[in-house]
Amino acid sequence: THFGYRDVPVGDKQKLVGEVFSSVATKYDVMNDLMSLGIHRVWKRYFVATAQAKRGDRVLDLAGGTGDIAALLADRVGDTGEVVVGDINGDMLRVGRDRMTDRGRVGGLSWVQCNAQELPFPDGYFDLVTIAFGLRNVTDKDAALREMLRVLRPGGQARVLEFSQVTAGWFRPLYDFHSFNVLPRLGSMIAGDEASYRYLAESIRKHPPQRELQAMMDAAGFARTSYRNLSAGIVAIHTGYKA
């Protein structure tokens, strides 16, 4: 693979986000399982299983620190493929890389510290670009979407997995209770960090809902954009192509 570790200068908000994730990097998995009752694994598996990828493809997983998506992608592109994991946070990358090494996966993978807003990759390099639970944290989402498009080859696919807007009215009060009461408490008990999990709930509410994100992808220049809700819109998968 062609990309080594690289540092990209980051702004203040990016640094803050980076620190939030540093403080939770190691407890991250346990928390994800607890918060979602394990369902995040199903979402991720579905996200990758339905992505446009084949053996030998070059794929980029942005904000991919934990390596969850990368591991699934590696199975899809096989030994001849290339999986690049990009994340702004070095700790997340290290956790992901160590985990993959423990699972016996080393080849065909590279770990690149980079900001999704300014990718250190050439135009048209990748067949598929994914970002799972990451776009929400990016300051300039439009810039990140434009960069995802830029590094895709014509015909290539971009896929975003992200928290979205719950569609079922009856479910909203429950979901809000979980987000603003259960979640920060879990965060303080398990990760000793209530603030990060409050930030999480707030960032989910601020993230553009389904239609709005689709419009942003259209504006960034993606063709044939669409989305699909999972679990009543708790998360959505957005898809777009490079014409």
Which residues contact ligand SAM by CB under 6 A? 14, 17-18, 21, 62-66, 68-69, 87-89, 92, 115-117, 132-134, 137-138
Is 215 marked as a binding-site residue?
Answer: no
Q: How far is the CB of 186 from ligand SAM (least distance, A)?
A: 15
Q: What does DSSP say about strands 223-230 and 109-113: parallel, antiparallel, or unpaired?
A: unpaired
> Is the CB of 161 or the CB of 166 nearer to ligand SAM?
161
Q: How far is the CB of 169 from ligand SAM (least distance, A)?
A: 27
> Is the CB of 47 or the CB of 222 nearer to ligand SAM?
47
Query: Using CA atoms, how far apart are residues 129 and 148, in angstroms rounded to an integer?
Result: 6
Q: How far is the CB of 89 from ligand SAM (least distance, A)?
A: 3
Q: How far is the CB of 131 from ligand SAM (least distance, A)?
A: 7
Is 193 marked as a binding-site residue?
Answer: no
Neighbour-count burial of 80, counting CB atoms closer than 10 A to its CB (0-12 exposed, 13-18 middle, 19+ buried) = exposed
Q: How far is the CB of 4 from ligand SAM (least distance, A)?
A: 17
Q: Is the dihedral of CA 234, 137, 58, 40 positive or negative?
A: negative
Query: Using CA atoms, how far apart are residues 122 and 153, in angstroms rounded to an integer?
Result: 10
Token pair 């997983």: residue: 61
> Is the CB of 24 or the CB of 77 nearer to ligand SAM?
24
CA 62 to chain centre: 6
Name the nearest CA neighbour of 49 among 195, 161, 171, 215: 161
> Is the CB of 195 or the CB of 223 nearer to ligand SAM?
195
Is 116 marked as a binding-site residue?
Answer: yes
Residue 11 in 3-state DSSP? coil
> Is the CB of 136 or the CB of 242 nearer to ligand SAM?
136
Is 32 marked as a binding-site residue?
Answer: no
Contact criterion met (CB below 8 Å) for 72 and 43? no
Q: Binding site membership: which residues? A: 66, 87, 115-116
Q: Binding site membership for S-adenosyl-L-methionine: which residues? A: 66, 87, 115-116
